[in-house]
Amino acid sequence: MKIAVVGATGLVGREMLTVLEERGFGQEEVMVAASPKSVGKKIGFAGRELTVQSVEDVIAARPQYAIFSAGAAASRQYAPLFAEAGTTVIDNSSAWRKDPRIPLVVPEVNIDSVTRNQQSATSGRIIANPNCSTIQMVLAISALQREYGIRRLVIATYQSITGTGIKAVRQLEAEERNLPLPTEEMAYPYQIHRNLFPHGGDFQEDGYTTEEQKLVDETRKIFADPTIQITATVVRVPVVGGHSEAVNVELRKDFDLEEVRRLIAATPGVILYDNPA
């Protein structure tokens, strides 16, 4: 198998390579691509070094799969070119999440949407994956949607600065050491060390931020139910790695709390901790 990772030098791209190695893809042909300034750099993978190539060269090599984490602009530019070359693109950015032609997939929840969507040959080779907070939430409540139907969600997230990228990590580290940091190198306009603020993404006219809007739009698309009422508050917290969420779920049907616990505990990928003692 030939697999490309686009955006491989970034925080998420490097994590993708780690996961590929952990999942047993170490012996496959893995190609790494990044921006022109990174071409020629070396990245360690499965005991060997990979040379960063240009995106154009990787497209020409026609890999079977391209995993993208290079930002929305790069995804919009290059994902269709990979698809035209016969590559299946799995995109980690926000570029395609709202596109009705593109399936938005959490494999444990709605893998069937990959084959259910009727698409063109190009768009049919692009698969979007959701925002990180959406992924973990829909996985945890997917059995409740299937069994009872969800009427309403009230969500508060406490999101790691890692979700903003390497720039945020460097800002936090500098602030922890009380080191000066030029404004242009800061990910946030405020101190994040020993602080938190309800500001993820950009504010919209209705007062919600784009990070909050993603939880609304993506959850409805993944569950194929535009009638679910959703409100969300996103809070950024000074933690490296790991998002937390408090979710109030209103169901459409009567439920038994013990059955709810059983359904959540039985969901693949979810571990239920519910023993206050």
- Catalytic site positions: 132, 243
Distance, in Å, from the CA atom of 197 to the CA atom of 162, rounded to the nearest integer, reads 15
Count the neighbouring beta carbons within 10 Å of the beta carbon of residue 137: 25
Distance, in Å, from the CA atom of 257 to the CA atom of 124, rounded to the nearest integer, reads 40
Distance, in Å, from the CA atom of 51 to the CA atom of 87, rounded to the nearest integer, reads 20
Distance, in Å, from the CA atom of 50 to the CA atom of 18, rounded to the nearest integer, reads 13
State how far the alpha carbon of 141 is from the alpha carbons of 1, 103, 266, in Å.
Answer: 34, 20, 11
Task: Please state the φ and ψ torsions of residue 103, each to the nearest 5 degrees.
Answer: -70, 140
* Strands 42-45 and 244-251, bridge-based pairing: unpaired
Distance, in Å, from the CA atom of 219 to the CA atom of 174, rounded to the nearest integer, reads 36
Task: Please state the φ and ψ torsions of residue 90, each to the nearest 5 degrees.
Answer: -115, 110
> Which among 132, 135, 2 is positioned nearest to 66, based on CA atoms?
2
Q: Which residues pair with 49 in a beta bridge?
A: 44
Q: Which residue has 């080779």 as its token pair? A: 125
Pair 98, 120: CB distance under 8 Å = no
